[in-house]
Amino acid sequence: MMYSDKVMDHFQNPRNVGTIENADGIGQVGNPVCGDMMTFYIKVKDDKLADIKFQTFGCGAAIAVSSMVSEIAIGKTLDEAMKITNSLVAEELGGLPKNKLHCSNLGADALHAAIENYRKRLTSRGEKAEPEAPDLHEHEGAACPYCDGPLDEEAGEYCRACQIELEECPSCGEITKKDADVCIHCGAPLKK
């Protein structure tokens, strides 16, 4: 399958590229299998996404997905932005080749991680702590397929680095995001 005109437009002319100094939230996810890495930076005002920037290291589809996610999310409330799904992103781009569907997972997940990072830094008085980039480091043992962070038995099927719940894909047996529509590795449907 060829890329749609919309995918090519967002790849060649990505919107909202960059970083935000003193971001309210930072979310970073990656896929060590394909090498794509996405970082989203957000500014929040009145519970809405006032500004979004991203940096993506990856293929054309990953860049297009990041651009589209930023466009869909800007101006939305945090709760509305948390409802952005990989299928919505792929649909807005006019479809993605099957072997690139994992990119739409990464884009939505990176935005969600930035929002979760923002929410966790709010204190009971409503003050913000300084943002910290997620700790994604080399390790031994099981690894999160989204950020390559370590998975340990204490955390169960939960990645502490990117803060997502994981489950085993019944089709290929690899670890993928819980409640995702499709497996990040084999593309098999996961919803029952």
Task: Report pLDDT for 100.
Answer: 66
Task: Report pLDDT for 125.
Answer: 42
119-126 contacts, C-beta under 8 A, 24 or more apart = 119/25, 119/78, 121/24, 121/25
Please state the rounded mean pLDDT for residues 114-124. 79
pLDDT at 27 over 70: yes
Residue 121: C-alpha distances to residues 15, 100, 117, 125, 177 (Å): 27, 33, 6, 11, 23
Task: Report pLDDT for 101.
Answer: 58
Catalytic residues: 34, 103
Read off the pLDDT of residues 121-155 as tens digits, 9 standing for 90 and up: 875 346 654 444 444 333 335 667 666 666 665 55
Whose tokens are 């932005």? That residue is 81
Q: What's the pTM value of the predicted model, to 2 decimals?
A: 0.64
Read off the pLDDT of residues 44-97 as tens digits, 9 standing for 90 and up: 999 999 999 999 887 778 888 899 999 999 999 999 999 988 888 888 888 776
**Stronger pLDDT, 163 or 67, i.e. the higher one:** 67
Q: Show the domains of the chain with their CATH numbers.
A: 5-127 (3.90.1010.10)
